[in-house]
Amino acid sequence: MYIDNENRPPITPQLALRVAIIGGVALALFAIVFFRLWYLQVLSGDKYLAQANANQIREIKIAAPRGEIVDRNGDPMVENRVSMAVKIAPNELPPKGSADRKQLFSNLSKVLDLDPGKMSHDVNQQFKLLPFSAATVKQDVDLNVVQYVLEHQDSLPGITIERVFLRSYPEGTTGAHLFGTVGEVNQEELDSKDYQDVTAGDRVGKSGVEQEYDKYLRGVNGASRVQVDAAGHYISTGAPKEPVQGKTLKLAIDLNTQRVGQRALSEFAPTGKGAFVVMDIRNGEILAMGSAPSFDPNQFSRVVTPKQYEALTSDENGAPLLNRATLGTYPTGSTFKLITATAALESGAITADATINDPGEITIGDQKFTNAGGEPNGTVNMVTALQVSSDVYFYALGARMNEAKVDGPLQQWAERYGIGRDTGIDLPPESPGLLPTPEWRNQLFKDGQTDRPWSIGDNVQLAVGQGDLQANPLQMAVAYAALANGGTVVTPHLAEQVEGADGRVLQEIEFPAQRQIPIAPATQATILDGLRKAATQPGGTSYDVFKDFPVPICGKTGTAERPPHGDQSWYIALAPCPGPQYVVAVTIEDGGFGAEAAAPAARQILAAIPTLGVGKKEQSKVVVGNNRTR
């Protein structure tokens, strides 16, 4: 029953105004709220939805196994082994500070034989870094510990056994220097853009090939997805993302050649120290490269104690970790004569046919230089000087090519061949060694670090690979390859291609040559002729060793004085010769004359190069020469 409005007491105009104001304010406030809601829910809804979803999902990493490293035939050199690690899952662990947690840690420390205080500290550190991931208590535990933990889950709540992948090296010491090491990623690496998809706790390559090709070898981690509430409590597990193993890296290495090479080193090295390189001269592929003494890389997939590390690096043990093939710094002895010969022929210091009389000694300036043992070689030209390794002939060339202040032809050619500089191999680090130059010595003298400036004697010494010269076998192999292939300084490399898990080639790894050097064909022919005769003609320095070798080769011995050590024995071979395809460089510390240690070792190694087809018997044949030249 409604009544006409006129019958109600009329409100005053003042009240009407004020009610209107209140209504207006209400309208304005509602408008603000509506617009704000429109902005949040309709215009920015997607952003907030993503935020809400990210809020509740935590991903727990499942580590991916690294890719395998195989030799040129696909035989495994580096694999993964599954190791059992004891882990603590944070969501099942009794709360921090509770008596249950203390009891658990005390029980666990007894089972694992760890110090409870240190263990608790380590675990808490890990939880701080990765709050929802299980923390590792102990790596690589024995099977009986695994069984104990699994059988006593009631008294060990939250303790789990997890599979982790560690590197394993089925060949043991063979190729140990080639792979490098793997370890937990550090902060510096995490900050760099090469490691963008790597997260804390991942294992990455730390040195060598493992580091160089880490982006291929590294797998893609999987994750189990866990939904959590605001307090971080576990709610449910979602579908896991499976980890993907890293790609397979195929090396140019031939496992058998590698094995034979390392065996030969230990057989012929009196003090167990030396190195060798086998390289394809056409493209720089390294078929084998070794250093003695070697070590078992499997010990690096466990925790290495400071004592063990000391044993691997100390000089008394021959510093097994040192790769002498790339980091050795040795005088090269007569193997350097290839460079001296090139420089002399190309600079016109001598012609191929010009002869020099070698009476066994020569006086240059006020210094007398002699052949080894003072043996005279009579009249020699370039070919015969190389064949018999006449020091007097090359002393004379050294003297002719000397410059007092600037680099003479000898330094220029040595530098072109790669002496004193990095080879660019995909196995860092490497040592550039030292190429003595007038500028270098004069600067040292000016700085007061040596007692005399550059003299002609320095160049005479350099001409036969003595004096201040320091080089490694890889540099010498690259230099010999450059001569043999007509002037291409190749980039030596281990890696050949990247393969998928199914063996399909995903990527060929290309290594463009470092540079071209202008060696005249006549120069090349003359020098190769000398090196061929040295290995295959009576009177040649390594004729004793190679006279009945099934494949003709070119080869140069070297015997470098290296006080206070014994003589450094060198041999560098090009095979087959003529038409060389491979270079083998061997150096043996304290090995005596080149023909005594390095050449016999090189002979076994050459026999192992598969495409030369020498035959298995020769791979272990011991043929020691008695040529006593430098």
Partner 1 sequence: MHASRFGASIRDFSEDRPARTGVLTQMDPLLLAASLGLVLCSLYTITGATADDVAGNPLYYVTRQAIYAGVGVVLMFLIARFDYSRLRELKLGIYAGMLSLILLVLVVGGATRGSRRWIELPFFTFQPSEFGKVLLIIALAAFIVDRSRKLSARETTSRIMLLALIPAAMVIVQPDLGTGMVYIAIVMALLFVAGTSWKHLAALVGIGATAIVLTLVALPAIGVNVLKPYQVDRLTSFLHPTDNPQEQGYQVNQSLTAIGAGQKTGRGAEDATQTKLDFLPEHHTDFVFSVVGEEFGFMGAAIVLSLYSLLIWRSLRILTMAKNLYGALIAGGVVAMLMFQVFVNVGMTIGIMPVTGVTLPLMSYGGASVITTFLALGLLQSIHVQSRVLAAAKGREVLA
Enumerate binding residues for partner 1 (CB under 8 A). Answer: 1, 3-4, 7-9, 11-12, 14-16, 18-19, 21-23, 25-26, 29-30, 32-34, 36-38, 40-42, 44-49, 51-53, 55-56, 227-231, 235
Q: Does a cis peptide bond (omega within 30 degrees of 0) precede residue 438? A: no
Q: Does a cis peptide bond (omega within 30 degrees of 0) precede residue 243? A: no
Q: Distance between CA atoms of 313 and 363, rounded to whole angstroms?
A: 44
- Tell me how far, at minimum, the Cβ of 199 lies from partner 1, in Å: 22
Contacts 24+ apart (CB under 8 A), 197-205: 199/61, 200/129, 200/130, 201/61, 201/129, 201/130, 201/133, 202/61, 202/63, 203/63, 203/66, 203/165, 205/180, 205/181
- Tell me how far, at minimum, the Cβ of 208 lies from partner 1, in Å: 44
Nearer to partner 1, 23 or 486 (CB): 23
- Tell me how far, at minimum, the Cβ of 123 lies from partner 1, in Å: 24
Nearer to partner 1, 233 or 368 (CB): 233
- Tell me how far, at minimum, the Cβ of 221 lies from partner 1, in Å: 25
Half-sphere CA count of 504, side-chain side, radius 13 A: 3
- Alpha helical stretches, state H, 40-85: 45-56
Beta bridge partners, 320, equal none
Alpha carbon 357 to its chain centroid, in Å, reads 47
- E strands, 44-158, are 57-62, 69-70, 76-88, 135-138
Nearer to partner 1, 2 or 368 (CB): 2
In which element (H, E) is residue 168 found? strand 159-168
**319 SS3 class:** coil
Cβ(464)–Cβ(333) below 8 Å: yes
Question: By C-alpha distance, which of 515, 524, 526 is closest to 483?
Answer: 524
- Tell me how far, at minimum, the Cβ of 99 lies from partner 1, in Å: 25
Nearer to partner 1, 6 or 451 (CB): 6
Q: Which amino acid, 378?
A: G
Cβ(210)–Cβ(251) below 8 Å: no
Distances (CA, A) of 463 to 119, 340, 342, 443, 516: 62, 6, 11, 21, 23
Nearer to partner 1, 53 or 449 (CB): 53
Nearer to partner 1, 24 or 183 (CB): 24
Count, residues in the chain: 630
- Tell me how far, at minimum, the Cβ of 52 lies from partner 1, in Å: 4
Question: By C-alpha distance, which of 415, 416, 364, 414 is closest to 393?
Answer: 364
Nearer to partner 1, 229 or 508 (CB): 229
606 Cβ neighbours under 8 A, 6+ residues apart: 549, 551, 553, 573, 575, 582, 584, 612, 614
Task: Kindly tell me the number of DSSP H helices and DSSP E strands found in the chain.
Answer: 22, 23
Nearer to partner 1, 9 or 564 (CB): 9
- Tell me how far, at minimum, the Cβ of 228 lies from partner 1, in Å: 7
Nearer to partner 1, 51 or 367 (CB): 51
Beta bridge partners, 330, equal 471
- Tell me how far, at minimum, the Cβ of 47 lies from partner 1, in Å: 7
- Tell me how far, at minimum, the Cβ of 44 lies from partner 1, in Å: 5
Cβ(289)–Cβ(276) below 8 Å: yes
Half-sphere CA count of 34, side-chain side, radius 13 A: 6
- Tell me how far, at minimum, the Cβ of 201 lies from partner 1, in Å: 24
378-380/356-358 β-pairing: antiparallel
- Tell me how far, at minimum, the Cβ of 43 lies from partner 1, in Å: 9
Q: Distance between CA atoms of 362 and 358, rounded to whole angstroms?
A: 8
- Tell me how far, at minimum, the Cβ of 6 lies from partner 1, in Å: 10
- Tell me how far, at minimum, the Cβ of 158 lies from partner 1, in Å: 22
Nearer to partner 1, 38 or 309 (CB): 38
258 Cβ neighbours under 8 A, 6+ residues apart: 71, 174, 175, 287, 288, 289, 290
- Tell me how far, at minimum, the Cβ of 29 lies from partner 1, in Å: 5
Q: Distance between CA atoms of 582 and 553, rounded to whole angstroms?
A: 10
Nearer to partner 1, 22 or 99 (CB): 22
Nearer to partner 1, 52 or 143 (CB): 52
For residue 597 the two structure tokens come to: 């240690």
Nearer to partner 1, 30 or 309 (CB): 30
- Alpha helical stretches, state H, 269-301: none
Nearer to partner 1, 49 or 522 (CB): 49
367-370/361-364 β-pairing: antiparallel
- Tell me how far, at minimum, the Cβ of 51 lies from partner 1, in Å: 5
Nearer to partner 1, 146 or 228 (CB): 228
